[in-house]
Amino acid sequence: MCQLLIVDDELIAVEGLKSGVQWESIGISKVFTAHSAEQAKTLFGQERIDILLCDIEMPQATGLELLEWVRLHYPRTETIFLTCHADFGYAKQAIQLGSLDYLLKPIPYPDLEETIKRAIRKLDQDNRNSEFSQYGKYWVQYQPLLVERFWLDILNQTIPGDAEAIRKAAEERNIPYTNEMRFLPVLIHVRRWHKKITLRDEKIMEYAIRKSAEELLLNELERGLLISLADGYMLAMLNLESQSDVNEKLRAGCEQWIEACRTYFFAGVSCYIGETAHPDQLAYMFLRLRKLDENNVAHDQGVFSLQDQQTLSPVGMPPDIGMWSILLKEGAREPLLRAIEDYMEEQVASGGLDFDRLNQLIQDFQQMVYYVMQVKGIQAHQLFGDNDSITLHAAATRTSTDALSWMRHIVDKSIQFDAALDHTQSVTDKAKAYIHEHLAEDISRDDIASHVYLNPDYLTRIFKKETGMSVSDYVLQQRLTLAAGLLAQSELPVSAIASKVGYANFSHFSRMFKKYLNLSPLEYRSRHQAASPSNASRESDSGKS
């Protein structure tokens, strides 16, 4: 329902119009009245006025002046003029200002009702047009996202790789599409950051890399779409009819852009150029490009193509793992790392490295390290279970650079810990410190060995060599020594002392105490407290009193 304002300086005319029409029956819910332009402006500030029914000839300000103000401040209000004079000049000016109609007094009420109905229909139509306009703005704003989602569904095969299925999906989503389209896909992968950056900075850099790709690759080669994928991947889809006439230009453009990414964004980026394909062939082409990237373990950046000859050199000499293990056992860090790096460089230079061969090398290296750790009695899974080791190992199969970083880390950590083992006193001291710190807990030999990264038997050998007793005997000795001290020097209940030295069972504590000290806890307390100087002093003071 609409709201209407009648403006006329003649009170009788206003009341006649207000009472002479069945306003609700024609779609008007409220009728307001004013007798001057100023009163009308006040009402506009207080109420929603959809239709203005206004006299032209009024003192102070005419209806035409009021309409001019309404057009400036409330452009969606529809205006109908009333006048006693059939003056063409008035009519012309009213139409120029956007008046819906121009009626002569006295006005037949049926004519007025029809004019009001026409104003209401025009308001409804304008509202619908406004909604369509807002929808249009929304479509323009979000259509790139909808288009990107459409092509992602094709790549992920959510939309089947069938020409007719793709055509129907495009029609349902109102995406511009024909079966004759041909695209040249280019897979882009941000493989490495050449400086340490935060996750937030990484997202900013990825956005900058995408915008630069749109500017330098798509705009330069005309017409295309860039789709963001997960984990630093993007796919540029160039809308081209032929690949041959653009290949060299595309390769040169990619090389320049890759160098710019390295210089300005500290990023190592690789581009993988596919082959021209229809939309129903894109999912398969995308998988081939991902495989090309997966097998590129030798280069952190560069331009590669499916049309390049992808031949892997014959399997060369495997690494001399036996020699590497000897160097690791001897702690020869520099010769070992040099041998690893030389072998890796040789494999990269000869083109003999792909994902499978790199993975085999990593497994062989890991086996060698674990063998050496076992010989030395070191618990490898404890030594290499920290976050840095796990993160580096997870990335090791990506590229030769990542593999080398992981190998250097493993060699350094192994040799550093092995050097510490040569100073058995330090290992024994660590074990002793751990025992003293956890005397009140139920600790085992395995717990102590795990703390110093050794297997229990190896730790026992080192510990006994240094202290003359086994780890278990040392723990028992320390517990009973502490218990004896507390019994002699405190008033703590025996059960509380048993708990403080790691015995939950009071009877067991009493048996062990008597077995090794030949006295029960109560007998020990009675004898040692009676003989203590402080106790003797208390007895002397008592005698004096």
Beta strands in 56-142 (DSSP E): 78-83, 101-104
Question: Is residue 168 included in any domain, yes or no?
Answer: no
Distances (CA, A) of 252 to 162, 215, 225, 285, 465: 34, 15, 19, 22, 69
Say what the alpha-carbon torsion angle 25, 28, 32, 38 is, to the nearest 10 degrees: -140
Same domain, 296 and 331: no
Q: Is residue 109 within 8 Å of residue 21, measured between CB atoms?
A: yes
CA 23, CA 296: separation in Å to the nearest integer? 79
Q: Is 203 exposed, middle or buried (0-12, 13-18, 19+ CB in 10 A)?
A: exposed
| pLDDT of the residue at 536 | 44
In a domain, 411, yes or no: yes
| 455 and 396 in a common domain | no
CATH number assigned to the domain comprising residue 220: 3.30.70.1230
Asked if 461 and 381 sit in the same domain, the reply is no
Pick from 305, 339, 365: which residue ends a domain?
305
- Look-up: residue for tokens 């003029």? 81
Look up residue 491 and give its two tokens: 């008033």
Cα 287 off chain centre by: 24
Give the H or E element holding residue 81. strand 78-83
- In-domain check, residue 133: no
What φ, ψ does residue 61 adopt, rounded to 5°? Answer: -145, 130
Here the tokens at position 257 are 């852009």
Please report whether residue 166 resides in a domain: no
Domain boundary among 305, 339, 370: 305
- CATH number for position 46: 3.40.50.2300
Rg (CA), the chain: 45
Strand order in the sheet with 224-228: 224-228, 233-239, 183-193, 267-273, 302-305
Q: What is the pLDDT of residue 538?
A: 43
Same-domain check for residues 343 and 293: no
The answer to whether residues 113 and 52 belong to one domain is: yes
Q: pLDDT per position in the chain (545 positions), as tens?
A: 899 999 998 888 888 888 888 899 999 999 999 999 999 999 999 999 999 998 888 888 888 888 889 988 898 899 888 877 655 455 556 555 556 677 777 878 888 898 899 899 888 888 777 665 555 455 455 567 888 889 899 999 999 888 899 999 988 888 878 878 888 899 999 999 988 888 888 888 888 998 888 888 776 545 678 888 988 999 998 876 545 556 678 888 899 999 999 999 999 999 999 998 889 999 999 999 999 999 899 888 999 988 875 555 555 678 888 899 989 988 899 999 999 999 988 888 887 788 888 999 999 999 999 988 877 777 777 788 888 899 999 989 888 999 999 999 999 988 888 777 655 547 888 888 888 888 888 888 888 988 888 888 888 888 888 889 999 999 999 999 999 999 999 999 999 999 988 888 888 899 999 998 999 999 999 888 766 555 544 444 433 33
Does the residue 139 lie in any domain? no
Strands 78-83 and 28-34: unpaired
pLDDT of residue 314: 58
User: How much helix, strand and coil, in percent to the nearest 5, is found in the chain?
Assistant: 60, 10, 25
Identify the pLDDT of residue 96: 56
pTM: 0.54
Examine residue 253 and state whether it is found in any structural domain, yes or no. Answer: yes
DSSP letters for 139-177: HHHHHHHHHHHHHHHHHTTSS-S-HHHHHHHHHHTT---
Contact between 294 and 355 (Cβ < 8 Å): yes
Residue-level pLDDT at 544: 38
Q: Which helix (H) or strand (E) holds 273?
A: strand 267-273
Q: Is residue 187 part of a domain?
A: yes
Residues sharing a CB contact under 8 Å with residue 66, sequence separation 6 or more, in sequence order: 7, 37, 40, 41, 52, 54, 58
Pair (326, 395) in one structural domain: yes
Instruction: Please give the pLDDT value at position 233.
Output: 93
Do 358 and 345 have their domain in common?
yes
CATH number at residue 490: 1.10.10.60
Please name every residue paired with 4 in a beta bridge, in sequence order, or none if there are none.
31, 51
Q: How many domains does the chain divide into? A: 4
Check whether residue 18 and residue 48 sit in a common domain.
Answer: yes
Number of H-type helices and E-type strands within the chain: 24, 10
Q: Are 519 and 436 members of one domain?
A: yes
- pLDDT the model gives residue 106: 80
Give the residues across from 102 on adjacent strands: 81
The answer to whether residues 123 and 34 belong to one domain is yes
Look at residues 123, 103, 130, 125 and name the one whose alpha carbon lies nearest to residue 29. 123
Cβ atoms < 10 Å from Cβ of 29: 11
Peptide bond into 106 cis (omega under 30): yes
- Distances in Å between the Cα of 181 and the Cα atoms of 168, 186, 281, 405 are 15, 16, 11, 45
Establish if 299 belongs to a structural domain: yes
- Tokens 């050998």 map to which residue? 461
Phi and psi at residue 34, in whole multiples of 5°?
Answer: -150, 155
Structural domain of residue 375, as residue ranges?
A: 321-422
Q: What is the rounded distance in angstroms from the CA atom of residue 369 to the CA atom of residue 392?
A: 15
